[in-house]
Chain A
C-alpha cells in the first residue's frame, strides 16, 4: 500500500509542479501549488509526520495560498502574453542546466543513503506530543525568535501596503 500511495501522490505532486511552471495565468499556477501542497501532506502522513501534515494543510494550503489568491485577484493579474520570452539558445541551455542539476543531486543522494532503509506507513510516528515537548524545551529560543520574526513581518506588511494619507 505504501508504495502505491507514494506513486500516486508523488505523481500528482510532480504533475502539479510542472503545471505551475507551465501555466500562463497566475490563478492556475496558484491552484496547482495547492495541489502540490495537498499531495505533500499525504506524503508527510506516510512518513509519520502527523503534526507537519496538519500544519501543511492548515497553514500553508489554507492560509498562505489563500493570501496568494487574494493578491492575484486584488492586482487583477492577467495571463502573460507568452510564457517563455527567451531565445531558443537560453531555453536549451536552461534545460541542460536543470538536467545537470537534477542528475548531480540524485547521484549524491543515491551514493550516500543506506539501501536497507525503507518507509512503511505506521512504522514510526512522530507524535504531536513529542513535537510539542521538543519545541518548548530544546528549541525554545528559535521558537521565541520566530515569534518576533512574525511580529516584524506583520508590522512590515502593514507599513508597506498601507495607503498614504
Chain B
C-alpha cells in the first residue's frame, strides 16, 4: 500500500523548495508545494478506499531502526480507524490551507522558505499520525515543534516574532521532557515501544486504584500533551505564536499540531483507561483551561488573539472529552474544530489581508459592505463553534458535554457556561468587525478566489461536518456513550443566549460594552491582562534561570573554571619552559658537568637496580 508515500511527498516538496526555491518562479513553487500536499491527500484517499472497511490495524514494517540488546524499534507505519480520521483531517485541511497561503503570502518576502517549512511540517505531522511506536511518534512530535518554531518566527527581522518562536519551542520542550520520561518508563515496564505490544501488555493489567506505574506513565504523557496542546500550565506559547503568518496559525495552531496531544492520549487510551486518577486530572485540566481561556478571550482586542484563546479553550474541551472516557467524542470535536477554527483563522487572515495588516478590532467595523464572502463564511464558522443546532460544533461539543454529565454533573454545568462564553466572544468579534461603521483608515477589499475558495469549502464542512458520524465510525475502538437529548438542547440554548448577548452588546446597544467594563473595573483589567500569568512565569522561572546562567554558569564555570584551566595549563607550560631554558647557558664546561652528572646517575641505576647484566 506504500504508506510511506503519504509523508514522503510533502518531504520531497520541502527538499525541492528549500534547496532550489530561491531561483524558482512563484508559479513553480506553488505547484510543488500545493501539488505535493494534493498528491498526498489523493494517496490517503486511495489507501483508505483500498483498506475499507478498516476492521483490523494495517501495519507496514519498513526496517529496523534501532537494534540494541533487547531493544528493538522499527520504522513502522500503521493505519486504523483513528489514523484514518487524522489522515483525512491533516491532509484535507492542510491542502485547503496551502491553497489559501498561495494568495495570502503573495506579497511577502521569503516565499519559497515559507512553503518549504509548511511542507516540512506536513511531513512531520504525517509521521506523527502514522507512527506505530512511541519513538517514531516522538520524532514527529519534535519535528512539528521545530516547524512551529521556524514558522512562528518566520518574520525573522521582527523581534517579537523571533521571541514568540523561541517561547513556543522552549515551552514545548518542557512538555517533551515529560513525554521522554514517559517513554523511558514505558520501555522499562513493557520492554518495547511498539503500540501493539504495549497495549497488549497493558490489557492484562488491572485498573489501578492508587498511583501505580500506569498512572505515572500517563501523567507524564499528559505533561507532554499539555505542552503540545496548550493546556494549563503550558499554554502560554499559543497566544504569542500568533506572531506568525495567519495560514500558520490556521494550520498549526488550530487544525493539526495542537491536536497532536489529544491524538496521543486517544491512541494511548488503553493505558489511560486503566489509570482513573490521570483521567480525572485530564478532565479537570481540560475543563479549567476551557473556562479560563474563554474568559480571557472575551476581553481581547486583537482578532487573532481572540481566536487563539478560543483554540486553547476548545482544546480544553477535547481534553475534557477524553478525560471522561469519551475518546471518540474528543476526536470528533478535533475534526470539527479543524473545520471551523481553521475557517475562523483563514477568515481573520482574509480580513487582515484586506485591511493591509490591521489586526485590532477597534479599527474595524462595517466590513460586510466590502467582504461579503469572508463575512458569510466567518458567520458560518461562528455558528458552528457556538454549537448552533445541527452545525458540526453542535454535535461534537454536545457529545462531550453529555459524557461529562455522566461522569460528574458539575463538569457539565461549567462546560455549558464556557459554551455560552464561547458563543459570546466569537460573535463579539464578528459584530465588531463586520457591522457598524468602518473605524479604520485602510481601503478594505475582498480577497481573491484562491483565498475565498478554501473559505467556502471549509464553511460547508463546518455546517455539514457534524453529519459525518465519527463516534459511530470509531465504535470498534472506543465504546460509544449514550446520548441525552435534553442535555444537548440545554447547552445549545445557552449558546443561543451567548449569541444574543453579543448581539446586544455589540450591535443593538453599542455603548453597553464600555459601561459594563468600567463598572467591573479591576476584574476587567485582570482578565484583559490574561491574569498576569506571563508576568508571573517570567518572574518566577525565566528571570532566575537567565540570571543564574549568566552569573554561575557563564562567568563562574565557563569563563572562570574552564577557560582558567586551559589558559592555566598554557601559563604553567610557559613557566616550566622558562625555568628549563636556564640549562642552556652557552658555557661548554657546564654542559660537560651535566654529562658527567648524568653518567653518574646512570651508573647508580645500572649498578644498584639492574646489575651489570
Contact = CB atoms under 8 A, between A and B. Distances in A.
Interface of A: 97, 100-101, 104-105, 107-108, 112
Nearest to A100: B600
Size bin of chain B's contact surface? under 10
Interface in B92-114: none
Contacts of B596: 97, 101
Nearest to B603: A104
Contacts of B603: 101, 104-105, 108
B222 to A, nearest CB: 83
A104 B600 contact: yes
B198 to A, nearest CB: 79
B604 interface: yes
A112 B597 CA distance: 24
A107 B600 contact: no
A107 B604 CA distance: 11
A41 to B, nearest CB: 28
A100 B603 CA distance: 11
A104 B607 contact: yes
Interface in B595-613: 596-597, 600, 603-604, 607, 612
A104 B612 contact: no
B499 to A, nearest CB: 110
Specify the main secondary structure of chain B where it touches its partner.
Answer: helix
A77 to B, nearest CB: 17
A97 B596 CA distance: 9
Interface of B: 596-597, 600, 603-604, 607, 612
Contacts of A101: 596, 600, 603
Contacts of B600: 97, 100-101, 104
B604 A108 contact: no
Contact of B612 (A97, A100, A108): A108
Lowest 9 CB-CB distances: which A-B pairs, in order?
A104-B603, A108-B607, A112-B612, A101-B600, A108-B612, A104-B607, A100-B600, A97-B596, A97-B600
A108 B604 CA distance: 10
14 contacts: A97-B596, A97-B597, A100-B600, A101-B596, A101-B603, A104-B600, A104-B603, A104-B604, A105-B603, A107-B607, A108-B603, A108-B607, A108-B612, A112-B612
A17 B596 CA distance: 19
A101 B596 CA distance: 9
A82 to B, nearest CB: 15
Contacts of A105: 603
A105 B602 CA distance: 12
Nearest to A111: B612
Contacts of B607: 104, 107-108
Contacts of A104: 600, 603-604, 607
Contacts of B604: 104
A100 B596 CA distance: 11
Nearest to B604: A104
B604 to A, nearest CB: 7
A112 B600 CA distance: 19
A105 B603 CA distance: 8
A97 to B, nearest CB: 7
B393 to A, nearest CB: 104
Nearest to A105: B603
A104 B607 CA distance: 8
A112 B596 CA distance: 23
Contacts of A100: 600
A106 B596 CA distance: 17
A6 to B, nearest CB: 25
A108 B603 CA distance: 10
A132 B272 CA distance: 103
Given A104-B603, A112-B612, 13 more contacts: A97-B596, A97-B597, A97-B600, A100-B600, A101-B596, A101-B600, A101-B603, A104-B600, A104-B604, A107-B607, A108-B603, A108-B607, A108-B612
A25 to B, nearest CB: 20
Contacts of A107: 607
A104 B600 CA distance: 9
A53 B603 CA distance: 30
Contacts of A108: 603, 607, 612
A101 B597 CA distance: 9
Nearest to B596: A97
Nearest to B607: A108
A105 B600 CA distance: 10
A107 B596 CA distance: 18
A8 to B, nearest CB: 31
